[in-house]
Structure 1
């Protein structure tokens, strides 16, 4: 299970005195635990739900790094990028632009969608097909481009 792997890797990082990995994994485990107790009843998250939490955390790090770099705080930006790299080790490999285009094309054809009026349905189908292996913004841009020309 992914949560057990995170906790095991945290213990290893603590033993190795790797401060970056230790702090990043503590933050990730805290985010997972917060997600588990959110809502009406506390429950264990599935690996897919944990991946979703880790994806959001990685996105936060990426956005923070861009903000710090834009403000000229390169040391903070580098730290955020390093944390994102640690989290990326637990996420599925990201799809290339060509792979995203092919998956979106197949999803639109399978659902018989065309035209910008079907953007919502197209995004739902494309996101299900991509299954977290590409950022939502990249998928949305590809869906928009294919609906506009199709």
Structure 2
């Protein structure tokens, strides 16, 4: 079942159960997916493109969450935490730190990187492997640690 089909099914369920928060998050994600398809001039997005949009939505909310926490806006923080929980349901299973570290080391070996100067090369080869399964900041820190 594609992400769009799953979202539609979950949207109907949220309507039936009168779950306004889930419904609004699903509607936002569906709108983002539709906007991306229009932007790319396609009728339907590939799984990878859908994952990119979903990751972008998640990242936007995480960034907002940190800003709201710093500003002391507990009302918005709580709302965003619920939205993040809804979005996490549609994301692929996240890699554990051990799995991620193994992939980082393997990629460093593959591209024969030895110094921080080659970080871009490593990240370019690594990010497609972990897309949607790990946070880019965490990946970046691990690569820096192993290239130091």
Q: Give TM-score scaled by structure 2 length.
A: 0.94
The ranges of structure 1 where at least 4 consecutive aligned residues each deviate by more than 4 angstroms after the TM superposition are none
Matched residues in 2 for 1:15 and 1:126: separation?
A: 42
Structure 1 position 42, deviation (Å): 3.3
Structure 1 position 62, deviation (Å): 1.4
Between the two proteins, the alignment pairs up a number of residues equal to: 147
Matched residues in 2 for 1:128 and 1:28: separation?
A: 22
Structure 1 position 112, deviation (Å): 1.6
Gap runs ≥5 in structure 1: none
Alignment of 1:1-150 (within 5 A): 1-39=2-40, 41-148=41-148
Matched residue SS, 2:45: coil
User: Contact 1:107 / 1:129 at 8 angstroms: preserved in 2?
Assistant: no
Matched residues in 2 for 1:136 and 1:6: separation?
A: 25
Q: Which moved more, 1:98-107 or 1:23-32?
A: 98-107
Structure 1 position 120, deviation (Å): 0.9
Matched residue SS, 1:51: helix
Gap runs ≥5 in structure 2: none
Q: Higher relative contact order at CA 8 Å, sep ≥6: structure 1 or structure 2? A: 2
Matched residues in 2 for 1:78 and 1:109: separation?
A: 43
Structure 1 position 81, deviation (Å): 1.0
Q: Give TM-score scaled by structure 1 length.
A: 0.92
Structure 1 position 130, deviation (Å): 1.6
